[in-house]
């Protein structure tokens, strides 16, 4: 008999029954016993539960969080995602060595006097104190959920992503800056709107099943609070459904499942210590492994694809001790090498940040600063880490010089409150989607035509050139260190 002690939150016993593919197992949890074919658990849950160490095996029953604490943590997820993305832009695509040279004091501030971005052709495109494409795409999920009265569909998200690629985030009149290769190639396919998941999988298969970029995990965090009152399996499934719109590799899927699973446990008061994190990582792996075998790793004729879903690699990236630095060349993973856009780097470094904070070694600001000073795809790494850590510490615990200086902060908090109403977290307020006009696909601003898009692009190019020209002129002056330690290099 396989004996597991699994919390009720983890089991979610009210999901539909499907026939299990395992045999000769029984699962005992507390005073309840589960066995192959049990009508109270699905096959995917049964597979997961028989292949993991239960996260709650040594913990007391999870305490229900008060509404105020829960809302604060949900705000922490959304604002944390946006802040990690925003701070990450300071060092995105720099090496760790370059980041140290450009920001020798490793200190960042978004309230006045705000730390200026180092000026180069990449950073010159972006607004100061604002997020990038990572959080834009998270907002596409959020706006879709709000507009459709608390439901998520692949087709609506795909349509919004297609619009974003063409003209940006209309609700905030932002251009689509930082489009990833995977997202760009999938979304611009002629069949994308009619079959986004099929196009996504087809592109992945055509690349020999090797592409596992971080473009899905960077946007997934907001799904956890949306599904806080749904089952765990529904939450996992929603994460996979949205991820696979652009990213079909099981490594991308398990990254998203792990993030929403950990966040869900934090919101339910179940995950309370650093030592418990591994159990949720194990559960996410087991569920995704079963799902991938059934739905992803077969061709159109039902033949198995030539692909190895490597558990050891997943553990190597995600189970780095908080006592070590994540980018330690001997024991950790290298954040700023040629694999910088790899989904496991974003997931693993984010989990490492959560471990650091849960074990008392860092707070939100210090751990995100450590992470982004490693360089690499720092805005994406920061977005995922910011969401996880924000979901643990809550919005109020984030340093005010970051939290209060974020551009569009009030707008985002309003949308988060609306989400909390629709998800059932807030029950003493009402939200009417039809009256929230900027959740519409065109953001209540109208769609841009081709000429308008070209004009925007020309304006962006002029802004970039002006910033670069100003920077180059300043660089000719004697070098000095300003208030922020920024060097004219």
CATH number at residue 113: 1.10.4080.10
Chain mean position to CA 432: 27
Is position 379 annotated in a ligand binding site? yes
66-112 pLDDT per residue, tens: 999 999 999 999 999 999 999 999 999 999 999 999 999 999 999 99
- pLDDT at residue 17 is higher than 50: no
pLDDT of the residue at 478: 60
Residue 1, classified by CB atoms within 10 Å of its CB into exposed (0-12), middle (13-18) or buried (19+), is exposed
pLDDT level of residue 471 (50, 70, 90 thresholds): confident
Q: How many CB atoms lie within 10 A of CB 396?
A: 13
Q: Are 339 and 313 in contact (CB under 8 A)?
A: no
What Rg, from alpha-carbon coordinates, does the chain have?
22
Is position 377 annotated in a ligand binding site? yes
**Cα–Cα distance, 18 to 130 (Å, whole number):** 45
Answer yes or no: is 126 within a domain. Answer: yes
Chain mean position to CA 182: 16
Is position 191 annotated in a ligand binding site? no
Residues 83, 45 share a domain: no
Q: Reduced to 3 states, what is the DSSP secondary structure of residue 298? A: strand
Residues 308, 237 share a domain: yes
What are the tokens at 447? 């769609």
108-136 pLDDT per residue, tens: 999 999 999 999 999 999 999 999 999 99
21-54 pLDDT per residue, tens: 333 333 333 333 444 445 445 444 444 444 444 4
Backbone angles phi, psi at 26, to 5 degrees: -135, 145
Answer yes or no: is 143 within a domain. Answer: yes
Residues 184, 37 share a domain: no
Q: Which of 27, 51, 75 is the last residue of a domain?
A: 51
Angle of CA points 154, 160, 165, to nearest 5°? 120
Helix (H) or strand (E) holding 2: strand 2-3
Answer yes or no: is 474 within a domain. Answer: no
400-447 pLDDT per residue, tens: 999 999 999 999 999 999 999 999 999 999 999 999 999 999 999 999
pLDDT of the residue at 331: 58
Answer yes or no: is 473 within a domain. Answer: no
Residue 243, classified by CB atoms within 10 Å of its CB into exposed (0-12), middle (13-18) or buried (19+), is buried
Residues 134, 17 share a domain: no
**Cα–Cα distance, 314 to 251 (Å, whole number):** 8
Sign of the alpha-carbon torsion through 347, 348, 353, 358: positive
Is position 134 annotated in a ligand binding site? yes
pLDDT of the residue at 329: 64
Single out the residue of 39, 34, 48 nearest to residue 17, CA to CA. 39
Residues 223, 315 share a domain: yes
**Cα–Cα distance, 135 to 77 (Å, whole number):** 11
Half-sphere exposure (Cβ direction) of 14: Cα atoms closer than 13 Å: 6
Residues 22, 126 share a domain: no
pLDDT level of residue 337 (50, 70, 90 thresholds): confident
Residues 150, 104 share a domain: yes
Q: Are 143 and 415 in contact (CB under 8 A)?
A: yes
pLDDT of the residue at 29: 35
Residues 46, 9 share a domain: yes
Residues 250, 171 share a domain: yes
Residues 100, 24 share a domain: no
Q: In angstroms, how far is the first alpha carbon of the chain from the final one?
A: 65
Answer yes or no: is 301 within a domain. Answer: yes
What is residue 360's DSSP assignment? Answer: T
Answer yes or no: is 176 within a domain. Answer: yes
Answer yes or no: is 476 within a domain. Answer: no
- pLDDT at residue 15 is higher than 50: no
What are the tokens at 292? 């991938």
**Cα–Cα distance, 126 to 132 (Å, whole number):** 8
Answer yes or no: is 488 within a domain. Answer: no
Is position 182 annotated in a ligand binding site? no
pLDDT level of residue 323 (50, 70, 90 thresholds): very high
Q: What is the per-residue burial (b if ≥16 Cβ within 10 Å, else e) of 159-177?
A: bbbbbbbebbbbbbebbbe
What are the tokens at 355? 């471990």
Q: Which domain holds residue 13?
A: 1-51
Residues 431, 293 share a domain: yes
266-321 pLDDT per residue, tens: 999 999 999 999 999 999 999 999 999 999 999 888 899 999 999 999 999 999 99
pLDDT of the residue at 483: 44
Residues 282, 249 share a domain: yes
Domain count, the chain: 2
Window from 203-207, 436-440, 474-478 with minimum mean pLDDT? 474-478
pLDDT of the residue at 332: 58
pLDDT of the residue at 479: 53
* pTM, full prediction: 0.87
Question: In 8-62, which ranges are E strands?
Answer: 26-29, 32-35
Is position 133 annotated in a ligand binding site? yes
């Amino acid at each position: 008999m396989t004996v597991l002690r699994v919390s009720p939150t983890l089991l979610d016993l009210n999901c539909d029954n499907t026939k299990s593919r395992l045999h000769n197992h029984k699962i005992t949890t507390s005073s309840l016993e589960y066995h192959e074919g049990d009508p109270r658990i699905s096959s995917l849950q049964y597979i997961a539960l028989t292949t993991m160490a239960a996260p709650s095996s040594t913990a007391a029953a999870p305490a229900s969080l008060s509404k105020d604490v829960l809302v604060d943590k949900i705000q922490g997820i959304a604002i944390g995602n946006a802040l990690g993305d925003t701070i990450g832009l300071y060092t995105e695509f720099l090496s760790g060595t370059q980041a140290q040279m450009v920001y020798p004091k490793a200190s960042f501030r978004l309230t006045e006097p705000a730390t200026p971005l180092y000026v180069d052709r990449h950073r010159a495109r972006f607004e100061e104190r604002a997020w990038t494409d990572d959080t834009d795409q998270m907002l596409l999920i959020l706006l879709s959920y709000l507009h459709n009265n608390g439901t998520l569909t692949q087709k609506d998200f795909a349509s919004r992503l297609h619009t974003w690629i063409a003209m940006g985030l209309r609700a905030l009149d932002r251009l689509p800056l930082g489009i990833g290769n995977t997202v760009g190639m999938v979304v611009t396919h002629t069949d994308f709107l009619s079959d986004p998941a099929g196009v996504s999988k087809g592109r992945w298969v055509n690349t020999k099943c090797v592409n596992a970029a971080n473009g899905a995990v960077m946007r997934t965090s907001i799904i956890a609070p949306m599904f806080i009152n749904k089952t765990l399996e529904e939450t996992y499934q929603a994460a996979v459904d949205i991820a696979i719109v652009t990213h079909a590799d099981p490594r991308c899927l398990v990254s998203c499942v792990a993030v929403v699973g950990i966040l869900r446990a934090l919101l339910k008061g179940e995950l309370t210590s650093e030592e418990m994190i591994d159990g949720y990582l194990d559960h996410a792996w087991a569920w995704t492994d079963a799902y991938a075998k059934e739905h992803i790793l077969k061709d159109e004729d039902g033949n198995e694809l030539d692909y190895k879903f490597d558990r050891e690699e997943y553990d190597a990236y995600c189970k780095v001790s908080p006592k070590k630095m994540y980018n330690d060349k001997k024991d950790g993973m290298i954040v700023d090498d040629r694999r910088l856009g790899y989904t496991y780097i974003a997931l693993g470094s984010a989990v490492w940040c959560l471990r650091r904070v849960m074990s008392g070694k860092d707070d939100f600001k210090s751990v995100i600063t450590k992470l982004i000073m490693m360089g690499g795809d720092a805005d994406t790494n920061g977005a995922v880490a910011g969401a996880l850590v924000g979901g643990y510490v809550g919005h109020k615990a984030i340093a005010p010089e970051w939290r209060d200086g974020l551009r569009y902060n009030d707008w985002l908090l309003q949308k988060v409150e609306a989400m909390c109403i629709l998800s059932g977290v807030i029950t003493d307020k009402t939200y009417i989607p039809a009256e929230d006009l900027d959740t519409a696909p065109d953001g209540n601003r109208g769609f841009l035509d081709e000429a308008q898009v070209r004009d925007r692009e020309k304006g962006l190019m002029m802004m970039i050139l002006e910033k670069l020209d100003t920077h180059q002129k300043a660089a000719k002056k004697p070098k000095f260190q300003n208030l922020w330690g920024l060097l004219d290099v």
